[in-house]
């Protein structure tokens, strides 16, 4: 009998705007909004540990760990009683002996192509993998074809020599998601059509991911369309002069993953090259001296990347200096169903 654990992520509905970045002036100053890595995976997301692996593994899955390798000719014979579908590129992978490897950290597409098909994937997880992802593994099965019902199982040989499993067995074509506080070793992921449903297979692909629960990304330097013209000024001991600020709202853009956190933030020195003394760049009140290419001095992985950014400068002397800043955000983001579109295939 399959042991079922039910869990889900709270879906945050965000309005997606155009990726065009624009600048505007504002009178109210903003600050960075603080959060944590744990908050980026919603509190309602259950995270399994190795102690949650149940050793009461179904006979079907145990057989898959020990059955003989099926050849393509044997698989083709199964089509005789039903519609003929073309096996996906990962077949044959109906048991542990021929489980598909090489998919760690990738999003793949495959299908359940016969009534007897089940898809096995073999993933070797290293300590380095875990270190890069806060020790968490994400396993996601989504895009299950409409009117079909596939389940997701994670199998591992435990330290006591027994085979254990955790599973997600939602109803219908609801996506299956497992987050696991992992340890190094070999894991098997099995996509299995739910028992007791006739013709529960389809040529349409599902999407599957097994890898770190966090990934890194970057916007690169973005042209904000801002221009700060400091004119000709020499404030000397009366300086520096603080410019009005301009802002760019990235809170709803589609090119940054939801729940991403800033790991490093950069503001460029792009300008007309005119002479200045005592120039400072500022983002949401965080200062940095001009001619610095280092990231701003803010704590890593504590502030949301999809944010309102207010930018201004201050200067002691300007000989017609014009600053045209560009912003770069390096970030870390959680692997969720919504964020799978950022994962390469």
The reply to whether 179 and 206 lie within a common domain is yes
The 8-class DSSP code of residue 206 comes to E
pTM of the predicted structure, to 2 decimals? 0.82
Answer whether 18's CB lies under 8 Å from 183's CB. Answer: no
The pLDDT confidence band at residue 233, using thresholds 50, 70 and 90, is: confident
Q: To the nearest 10°, the Cα dihedral for 60, 64, 69, 73?
A: 40
Count of domains in the chain? 2
The reply to whether 244 and 198 lie within a common domain is no
- Average pLDDT estimate for 155-175: 92
Look at residue 18 and tell me if it is in a domain: no
Higher pLDDT among residues 310 and 73, named by residue? 310
- Average pLDDT estimate for 252-275: 97
CA distance readout (Å), 200 to 39, 117, 118, 147, 269: 37, 10, 11, 8, 59
The pLDDT confidence band at residue 167, using thresholds 50, 70 and 90, is: very high
Domain boundary among 212, 237, 265: 212
Residue 150, pLDDT score: 97
Which distant-in-sequence residues (6+ apart) come within 8 Å of 247 by Cβ? 23, 24, 25, 26, 30, 308, 309, 310, 311
Peptide bond into 92 cis (omega under 30): yes
Look at residue 247 and tell me if it is in a domain: yes
Which of these, 220, 250, 218, lies nearest to 24 by C-alpha position? 250
pLDDT for residue 17 is more than 50: no
Look at residue 19 and tell me if it is in a domain: no
Residue 21, pLDDT score: 38
The reply to whether 28 and 173 lie within a common domain is no
pLDDT, tens digit, 9 for 90 and up, residues 44-82: 468 888 888 898 898 888 888 865 444 333 434 434 445
Residue 83, pLDDT score: 57
Helix/strand/coil (H, E, C) string of 72-140? Answer: HHHHHHHHHHCCCCCCCCCCCCCCHHHCECCCCCCEEEECCCCCCCCEEEEEEECHHHHHHCCCEEEEE
Percent of the chain with pLDDT over 90: 68
The reply to whether 182 and 280 lie within a common domain is no
Question: Residue 77: which CATH number?
Answer: 2.60.120.380
The pLDDT confidence band at residue 6, using thresholds 50, 70 and 90, is: very low
Higher pLDDT among residues 10 and 113, named by residue? 113
Considering only the C-alpha atoms of the chain, give the largest distance between any 2 of them, rounded to a whole number of Å. 90
- Round the average pLDDT of the chain to a whole number and report it: 85
Look at residue 277 and tell me if it is in a domain: yes
Question: Residue 28: which CATH number?
Answer: 2.60.120
Which of these, 342, 2, 1, 341, lies nearest to 170 by C-alpha position? 2
Structural domain harbouring 181: 42-212
The reply to whether 305 and 187 lie within a common domain is no
Domain boundary among 157, 182, 212: 212
The reply to whether 261 and 299 lie within a common domain is yes
Q: To the nearest 10°, the Cα dihedral for 337, 338, 339, 340?
A: 50
Residue 206, pLDDT score: 97
The pLDDT confidence band at residue 29, using thresholds 50, 70 and 90, is: low
């Amino acid at each position: 009998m399959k042991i079922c654990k039910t869990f889900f992520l709270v879906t945050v509905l965000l309005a997606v705007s155009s990726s065009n970045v624009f600048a505007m002036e504002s009178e109210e100053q903003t600050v960075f909004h603080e959060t944590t890595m744990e908050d980026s995976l919603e509190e309602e997301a259950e995270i399994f540990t190795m102690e949650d692996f149940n050793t009461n593994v179904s006979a079907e899955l145990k057989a898959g760990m020990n059955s003989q390798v099926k050849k393509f000719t044997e698989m083709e014979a199964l089509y005789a009683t039903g519609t003929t579908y073309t096996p996906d590129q990962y077949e044959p992978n109906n048991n542990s002996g021929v489980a598909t490897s090489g998919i760690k950290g990738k999003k793949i597409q495959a299908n359940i192509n016969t009534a007897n098909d089940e898809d096995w994937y073999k993933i070797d997880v290293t300590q380095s993998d875990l270190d890069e992802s806060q020790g968490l593994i994400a396993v996601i099965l989504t895009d299950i074809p409409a009117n079909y019902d596939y389940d997701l199982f994670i199998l591992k040989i435990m330290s006591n020599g027994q085979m254990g499993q955790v599973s997600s067995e939602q109803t219908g074509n609801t996506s299956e998601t497992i987050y696991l506080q992992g340890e190094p070793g070999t894991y098997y992921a099995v996509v299995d059509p739910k028992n007791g449903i006739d013709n529960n297979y389809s040529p349409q692909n599902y999407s599957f991911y097994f890898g770190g629960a966090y990934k890194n990304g970057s916007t690169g330097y973005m042209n904000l369309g801002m221009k700060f013209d400091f004119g000709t000024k020499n404030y000397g001991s009366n300086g520096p002069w603080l410019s009005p600020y301009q802002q760019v709202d990235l809170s709803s853009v589609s090119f940054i993953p939801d729940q991403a956190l800033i790991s490093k933030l950069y503001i460029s020195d792009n300008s007309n090259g005119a002479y200045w003394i005592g120039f400072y760049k500022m983002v949401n009140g965080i200062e940095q001296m001009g001619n610095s290419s280092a990231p701003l001095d803010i704590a890593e992985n504590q502030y949301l990347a999809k944010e309102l950014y207010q930018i201004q400068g201050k200067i002691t002397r300007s000989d017609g200096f014009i600053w045209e800043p560009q912003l770069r955000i390096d970030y870390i983001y959680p692997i969720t169903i919504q964020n799978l579109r950022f994962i390469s295939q």
